[in-house]
Chains A and B, each alone.
Chain A
Amino acid sequence: MQQYWKEYDSSGFYDELMSARGNARLPAKKLVSYLKSLTPEDIAARRMAADATIQAMGVSFTVYTDEGNIDRAWPLDIIPRVIAKKQWDIAEQGLAQRLQALNMFIDDLYHDQKIIKDGIIPEFVLKQSVNYRKECEGVSPAYGVWAHVCGTDLVRAGDGELYVLEDNLRVPSGVSYMLENRSIMKRVFPEVFEQVDIAPIGDYPARLFDTLSALSPRKEKQPIIAVLTPGIFNSAYFEHAFLAQQMGAELVEGSDLVVGDDDCVYMKNIDGLEQVDVIYRRIDDLFLDPEVFHKDSILGVPGLMRAWRAGKVALANAPGAGVADDKVVYAYVPQVIKYYLDQDPIIPNVETFLCYKDSERNYVLNNLDKLVVKPANESGGYGMLVGPHSTKKERETFAALIKANPRNYIAQPTLDLSTAPTLIGKHTPEPRHLDLRPFILQGKDTYVTTGGLTRVAMKKGSLVVNSSQGGGSKDTWIVDTDADKASTAKKISAKKTVKASPSKASNQSQSSQGGA
């Protein structure tokens, strides 16, 4: 593979593994030299092994356009993405800071709305937010936390710095794929795991369990926790089942639950009803409770909002938390952090133009060919205009959309997203753009995943990394380059401390084996 790596060229984009001069970056050095030692046949064999493992593990992500097929294998590129631990430690703080501020913001919005009264955010931004839920006003969830699980998308731009692209505070998915990517990679490249000090990521399910447990309204007993899924046709059903299993929680659908006259939520068990304390819901707000939201929703549970408002059950994430992942609100997050925490944001936002502001809208309309335009409340990468890749007709459509509803659109410069070597078609690495979705938990404590899910745009030049639109993924390695010396020391001391167990004494006697 030596030759292919020499020819690798990210055409001026910041590359995660390779420097502009064609050398491996420090944290990726051992990985790249290992990859270089493999022949194309080796690579092909490893890729096949990864694919077979994915199928055996049944890791799937359904794409709705792929009609009826709920077994679309999860796409994993076997070249990992590597980030230096030093840099990640800072990002981790930034992510925790951000979610802390966002939760204070949400709690404020559903109570006194001080941030509006103080003139930091205009009132109409809130009034027109499609994810603001009047039904949540005055509710006080435990610890003042509304978004317990957040998936924040980070991108690395041309300057090599990380930026926040968006926050997903409703039902972000991907964490199971992050975990499964790692277990697949351990099988595919066991040699590298021996050599490189890669931070483990496996404690997420336990942390999620702790986060959810701490929300239980009934403190006196071990809480009953359920993962509420819309069912097997949901794109992330695999993840719902996976997390339930990893946490030892119940996997339920709306029809398995019922709300009693006492406002408590119950599971329909083989011996009758059992009270549920915490629901990790993976159903959108508007489908949660047909008594309050969409009347014809069969996914939800009638009375669930009543139970939540009465404090009889905890919902994670809380209904209404999505108000903060409105992309107009996103533009205000630096001010939000300043306002509630009196701190400067550790991770910056991407520059964002708000179309409701006349001057910024004019700039956007005049520069549609250079900008990325996004609707304020879509997820999954839908309804976007990527200016440089757009046709004139598409730009005209978007101009009209923006003029008709300026509040609903924001624009950002087309980012020079970083790339990483990715195996496409043949077994040679080609640069592809990527982002990173870490997951942040907040409840009683705060936790940030070590790294996150790296999503890759598989088409050459494309910036659309979303799994629902054919994006691929990579395992993400947080590598401690200072650890080489330390780990030698660790091994030596380990030798000293491990005591031998007694050897196995009992074996079947020769005579009873019938051999004599």
Chain B
Amino acid sequence: MLSKVAERVYWTARYLERIESTARLISIYDKLLFDLPRTVQLSWYNLITINSLQKDFSERYAVQDERNVIKFLIGDESNYSSIVSSLKATRENIRTTRDVIPSDVWYAINELNRYVKDNIQQGINRGKRHEFLSNIICGCQQILGTLYSDMPHDAAWTFLRIGRNLERADMTSRNIDAAMAGIMEAQDIDEAVNTHQIIWLNLLRSLNADHSYRRATRQAIKGYDVVGYLVTNQYFPKSIEYCLNALISACEQLPNSENLTEYLDAIKADIVDDYEPESLGQPLRDDLNELQLHIIDLHKKISETWFPVWD
């Protein structure tokens, strides 16, 4: 398989995952804010912090309010992580890999692109935002479903898996980090306990993990159980452990992957095997930060292995 095609397929999966998780995050955040006691001042700006976009945001906007945050995350073409930018990038990657991607996926991304273009204002205004975002999520799911059902499980498929699981591990760690940050912010208020509950629950929801968490743990929502589930559950497809396992098994199917699987094993040992259930607060945030650095490194190693710059 051509290196360039592999690279584009990998990025297709990453961007697609990014679109979906951004849409989900915004729509859950909306609901979270409704649930919180009025004394708790959780800022929309947290969504910028989660994605490490503070610098880019400050270059474009002075006021850190809801409207600007939403505009930046959904419709801002100068933000390369926004939904419109990621959508555009997904579509360009699919356009240039049509030899390995099912046609229906090309049609679906065209439809989704058109829908977002025609309805972008709905996403920015609050009234129809939920509908707009859930249509985007549906569009992404349709594409994923088509890939699952129609694509041969060859090398191209393996690169899709790698892209998706890498991006997922990244997003899950960022989501946990954001929840932890929110909880640390709301430490000394009267409704602290209740507020923490709400934040943890919404963390699960933002990853579509609330039902499976309850079935798997048979526990009420408790901080360390939630984090433990999202880091070390081997069945939940967005948990860190699941993503790392998927990355390992995908890499093993590709040529010249020994260095990568070794590195992945090391990350897994570090983050998952050595996970301490009672670890919350700043130590947890430090661990997550370390994981994100690992993920950046992983991407570099993947590129060097399969998409090298040829002389």
Q: Interface on A for B, CB 8 Å cutoff?
A: 55-58, 232, 237, 241-242, 244-245, 248-253, 255-256, 258, 267-271
Contact = CB atoms under 8 A, between A and B. Distances in A.
Interface of B: 1-6, 92, 95-99, 103, 106-107, 110-111, 114, 155, 254-256, 306-307, 310
Contact of B110 (A56, A250, A252, A255): A56
Contacts of A58: 95, 106-107, 110
A267 B5 CA distance: 11
B99 A56 contact: no
Contacts, number: 64
B297 to A, nearest CB: 20
Contacts of B111: 56
Given A56-B110, A270-B255, A242 B1 contact: no
Given A56-B114, A245-B99, 18 more contacts: A57-B107, A58-B95, A58-B107, A232-B96, A244-B98, A248-B99, A250-B2, A251-B99, A252-B2, A256-B4, A258-B310, A267-B2, A268-B310, A269-B2, A270-B3, A270-B6, A270-B155, A271-B256
Contacts of B98: 241-242, 244-245, 251
Nearest to B96: A232
A462 to B, nearest CB: 31
A181 B306 CA distance: 38
A232 B1 CA distance: 20
Q: Which 5 A-B residue pairs are closest in the complex by CB-CB distance?
A: A271-B255, A241-B98, A244-B99, A270-B306, A58-B110
Contact of A241 (B4, B96, B114, B310): B96
B92 A232 contact: yes
A184 to B, nearest CB: 12
Contact of B95 (A55, A232, A270, A271): A232
Nearest to B310: A268
Nearest to B255: A271
Contacts of A55: 110, 114
Main secondary structure of the interface of A (DSSP, over half): mixed
Given A268-B3, A268-B4, A269-B3, A250 B99 contact: yes
A269 B100 CA distance: 14
B254 A270 contact: yes
A241 B2 CA distance: 15
Contact of A56 (B107, B155, B256): B107
Nearest to B92: A232
A269 B3 CA distance: 5
29 contacts: A55-B110, A56-B111, A58-B95, A58-B110, A232-B92, A232-B95, A232-B96, A237-B95, A241-B95, A241-B99, A244-B98, A245-B98, A245-B103, A250-B2, A250-B5, A250-B99, A251-B96, A251-B98, A258-B310, A268-B3, A268-B4, A268-B310, A269-B2, A270-B2, A270-B255, A270-B306, A270-B307, A271-B254, A271-B256
Nearest to B308: A268
Nearest to A57: B107
A482 to B, nearest CB: 35
Most buried by A among B92, B98, B254, B310: B98
A92 to B, nearest CB: 29
- Most chain B C-beta atoms within 10 Å of own C-beta, residue among A249, A258, A270: A270
A252 B96 CA distance: 9
A242 B98 CA distance: 7
B90 to A, nearest CB: 13
Contact of B1 (A244, A248, A258, A270): A270
A254 to B, nearest CB: 11
Contacts of A57: 106-107, 110
A268 B99 CA distance: 16
B3 to A, nearest CB: 5
B164 to A, nearest CB: 18
Contacts of B1: 269-270
Contacts of B103: 245
Nearest to B311: A258
Contacts of B99: 241, 244-245, 248-251
Contacts of A249: 99
Contacts of B110: 55-58
A232 B88 CA distance: 14
A266 to B, nearest CB: 10
Contacts of B92: 232
A249 B92 CA distance: 19
A57 B1 CA distance: 25
Contacts of A253: 4
A229 B1 CA distance: 17
Contacts of B254: 270-271
Contacts of B255: 270-271
From B95, B97, B99, name the one whose CB has the most chain A CB atoms within 10 angstroms.
Answer: B99
Contacts of A237: 95
Contact of A256 (B2, B106, B306): B2
A267 B2 CA distance: 7
A191 B255 CA distance: 51
Contacts of A244: 98-99
A242 B96 CA distance: 10
